[in-house]
Structure 1
């Protein structure tokens, strides 16, 4: 393998996780918005988040030297994916509504919120340990 092939391979390896992160980030943001009461995913916060994600996506495309044609294809694929995930999410909510009463759904939401808050308290806001790795072993 020559140097150019090795360099291209390393660039692909470098940007593959970034492209994946950009592809799935809207799902995480949508889930976060949903858990914070923005059930329609609309509003000024949602618009700002989408603008930031688009800017980040464009920056990564430019860094990866993705052509305008392929950028458009990727953006279309991303939009189709987002729409499919929204439809799947709605289908799941309908199925849950068939299984659980309103009270049970509320109890489940509350339990999930409590578990989420406990996790954040233990692991920090971003889900990472606070840097004291020895504390977890001592506290149990």
Structure 2
């Protein structure tokens, strides 16, 4: 049986379309940071629809993919709740906070080591801007 390019690439396009949704779960844990959750969900839905259109997916395929995504999201949320309950059985609130703090510190150190410091609105890192200032003095 011969498959069209659209059929071959549909799974990859779906992955591209729903990848931002994986970050939605992280956004739930970081309220008050970044953009408004509703606006983010709206933007992701718009992107998913654009991907569907570019892939020329039928309405039935889109509906099936949306249903699969909703089931996946529910399963991930349930699994996260189960994991959080297990962690709460193992660590006290203070220990959980210490673990989160340590993870944030290590993440910041790793970003700094790789040169991913803060960037200005043009995408220039603080290190790049410092280097430019030094060179122009």
Give the TM-score normalised by structure 2: 0.71
CA contact (8 A) 2:52 2:62 kept: yes
- Quote the RMSD (CA, aligned, Å): 2.5
Post-superposition offset of 1:116: 1.6
Q: 1:18 to 1:116 in 2, by over 3 A?
A: farther
Residue 73 (str. 1) matches residue 64 (str. 2): yes
Post-superposition offset of 1:122: 3.0
Unpaired segments ≥5 residues, structure 2: 118-124, 126-137
Deviations 1:57-88 (A, max 9, x none): 00010111110111011111111111110111
Post-superposition offset of 1:23: 2.1
Correspondent of 1:87 among 44, 54, 78: 78
Unpaired segments ≥5 residues, structure 1: 39-43, 131-140
1:50 maps to what in 2? 41
Where 1:23 maps in the other structure, the secondary structure is helix
Post-superposition offset of 1:120: 2.4
Post-superposition offset of 1:112: 0.8
Give the TM-score normalised by structure 1: 0.69
Deviations 1:28-83 (A, max 9, x none): 2321x144246xxxxx7111111111100000101111101110111111111111
Task: Please list every run of at least 4 consecutive aligned residues from structure 1 whose deviation after the TM superposition is greater than 6 angstroms.
Answer: none
Q: 1:16 to 1:69 in 2, by over 3 A?
A: closer
Equivalences for 1:82-121 in 2 at 5 Å? 82-121=73-112
Q: How many correspondences in the alignment?
A: 114
Question: In structure 1, how many angstroms separate the alpha carbons of the residues matched to 2:110 and 2:16?
Answer: 22
